[in-house]
Structure 1
């Protein structure tokens, strides 16, 4: 049953196919679009079908004018280099690279040119490395040089990625471990992962997820002077978020912990990002007090959307007094408002 605006009523519907032309980056792309129609033949709204049409048009554009996602993935795979170091070498954000490889995002003309150059002439990687190696850590530089030297000597390279997803996430928080910026703990990746899994069991907006994680860690510190996960959070315009959250989410998706879905919500191209768990939440990682806090946070903000929870967080002293893009000191947890459980 679907609601028909033309008929002003809900009723049965069927699906039909029709030709439809989309304009993608100035190019007209024709597809066979599947739509829902009521029993009088009027088109009725179906978000899933509309999203599928947009995705089909995007993929067809990539095939005709760009590079399919699987080919972009193959460009990186030929070197045996992981997401993060490869992105640094070619000068592309690691989150963007992941989305290019998954087909979620079309590469810009600049990024597409890089992929095509490396596809046509794999040896170009050495030029990109020399140009951008200053962005890599000493460890990454050494490993990259070993990988690229091996690749140059053999076209059948089977070397593992320079850094695992787990190592990359842990490295974000390691410089701050056991300080007031981590709640006096070393970062616990498994706890952090299962906090994410707890809040994304039924799917949640990305912006809201960031605030739920922050409130959970800081509320635990307020009550027991230690955080749950040992994660570092920083102040960004839309509120507190885990440090380098885009990188973290990209690698959690690569680990198949979560999946990130992007939905176009209007004709101007505005999108909504949501996060859904891909694995089961395991409560055994937490003690009874930590589980109670996770449940309290989820319940207290159950009716909050991304905008409302961001506005709520903006009233916390932690956000008001921390400079933009700086880590948030857990000392501010003492002033955190207690949860409204009504």
Structure 2
């Protein structure tokens, strides 16, 4: 028996199977779930065990399609022959989080990107050692350096976090896909710092960046940052945005926190960790940033995503494909 909110009392229930599509971390995940219906009024009854079972399926499917399994996550650490505590310090992640991830919990997006990078490019562990070795005790540092000797390669083979971000957006410079501009890392970083000075949800941040570059292009026939944007279900986003944000976090330029809304969905809030440098922008560029920030000031992530869905650049572009800056000519005017 379980409590039925419609009947206001305990009743036996019947379990039925149904198909349902969940929006989870920006992806549509379809699952076969078991749900309970009241035998008295036939209304849906919340049964915690069934809800947990469904969420476990959603997480598993997401991990298999877009993430990593717990075994893959565990093997990332084991390949370096490191214990959980020193490994967590190298990643600048809590050791409790590392343990949860290895036991099957889904990593937050920025942590997942670090694991993926170490899986594909294990030598990158030495970059993390160089960045976070101050977090290790002298004994841990000695042990870690000994364990990682086998991964030592010539220093010039490494890419810094800045170089990795630049490598994402350097392709196709000076074309309609970059707004006829070369990518500027300084402007890219400081545009993010501008919009995140007081913290902003990641979904909204992506749209603020897109509108800034495209609005400026509409008026000046050149983008501000030279960033390439692609179509995602929740609107336009910078290419490989999660990778870029993960490396900005490693650079200590931003902080990313996980929040859970009333429906239990995880949201990512981005907050600047460095002061905004206005000197990298022209007066016209700064005015555009201010105009975009002011126009969307009261918009939440859902509202700004819905607004962007009405833009021709988003609607006419195929999923996961690059949005041409030529569509900036069709951009809606910013009139309140």
Aligned length: 227
Cα distance in 2 for partners of 1:99, 1:334 equals: 44
* Unpaired stretches in structure 1, ≥5 consecutive residues: 1-22, 27-66, 78-96, 113-128, 145-149
Cα distance in 2 for partners of 1:239, 1:153 equals: 41
Deviation at 1:110, TM superposition (A): 6.8
Which of 245, 252, 256 is the aligned partner of 2:248?
Answer: 252
Q: Is 1:334 the counterpart of 2:334 in the alignment? A: no
Residues 1:156 and 1:334: Cα distance change in structure 2 (over 3 Å): closer
The 5-angstrom pairing of residues 183-198 of structure 1 reads 183-198=179-194
Partner of 1:71: 86
Deviation at 1:251, TM superposition (A): 0.6
Partner of 2:218: 222
Which of 189, 193, 196 is the aligned partner of 1:200?
Answer: 196
Preserved contact between residue 104 and residue 262 of structure 1 (Cα < 8 Å): no
Partner of 1:173: 169
Cα distance in 1 for partners of 2:149, 2:98 equals: 32
Deviation at 1:177, TM superposition (A): 1.1
SS at match of 1:193: helix
Residues 1:202 and 1:153: Cα distance change in structure 2 (over 3 Å): closer
Cα distance in 1 for partners of 2:249, 2:267 equals: 17
SS at match of 1:309: helix
Deviation at 1:102, TM superposition (A): 9.7
Deviation at 1:222, TM superposition (A): 0.2
Partner of 2:231: 235
Larger CA deviation: 154-163 vs 198-207: 154-163
Q: Is 1:261 the counterpart of 2:257 in the alignment? A: yes
The 5-angstrom pairing of residues 1-342 of structure 1 reads 70-73=85-88, 103=97, 106-109=100-103, 154=149, 162-266=158-262, 269-340=264-335, 342=336
Two-structure CA RMSD over aligned residues (Å): 3.7
Deviation at 1:71, TM superposition (A): 3.1
Preserved contact between residue 84 and residue 99 of structure 2 (Cα < 8 Å): no
Cα distance in 2 for partners of 1:264, 1:278 equals: 22
> TM-score, normalization: structure 2?
0.59
> TM-score, normalization: structure 1?
0.58
Cα distance in 2 for partners of 1:159, 1:264 equals: 43
Residues 1:265 and 1:181: Cα distance change in structure 2 (over 3 Å): same
Cα distance in 2 for partners of 1:213, 1:318 equals: 15
Deviation at 1:272, TM superposition (A): 1.9
Larger CA deviation: 255-264 vs 97-106: 97-106
SS at match of 1:210: helix
Cα distance in 2 for partners of 1:295, 1:329 equals: 24
Preserved contact between residue 210 and residue 240 of structure 1 (Cα < 8 Å): yes
Partner of 1:118: none
Cα distance in 1 for partners of 2:165, 2:229 equals: 13
Deviation at 1:259, TM superposition (A): 0.3
Preserved contact between residue 217 and residue 227 of structure 1 (Cα < 8 Å): yes
Deviation at 1:73, TM superposition (A): 3.5
SS at match of 2:170: helix
Preserved contact between residue 218 and residue 227 of structure 1 (Cα < 8 Å): yes
Partner of 2:13: none
Partner of 1:64: none
Cα distance in 2 for partners of 1:105, 1:288 equals: 49
Cα distance in 1 for partners of 2:197, 2:146 equals: 41
Cα distance in 1 for partners of 2:193, 2:313 equals: 25
Cα distance in 2 for partners of 1:241, 1:69 equals: 34
Deviation at 1:186, TM superposition (A): 1.2
Cα distance in 2 for partners of 1:339, 1:237 equals: 23
Preserved contact between residue 240 and residue 313 of structure 1 (Cα < 8 Å): yes
Preserved contact between residue 72 and residue 100 of structure 1 (Cα < 8 Å): no
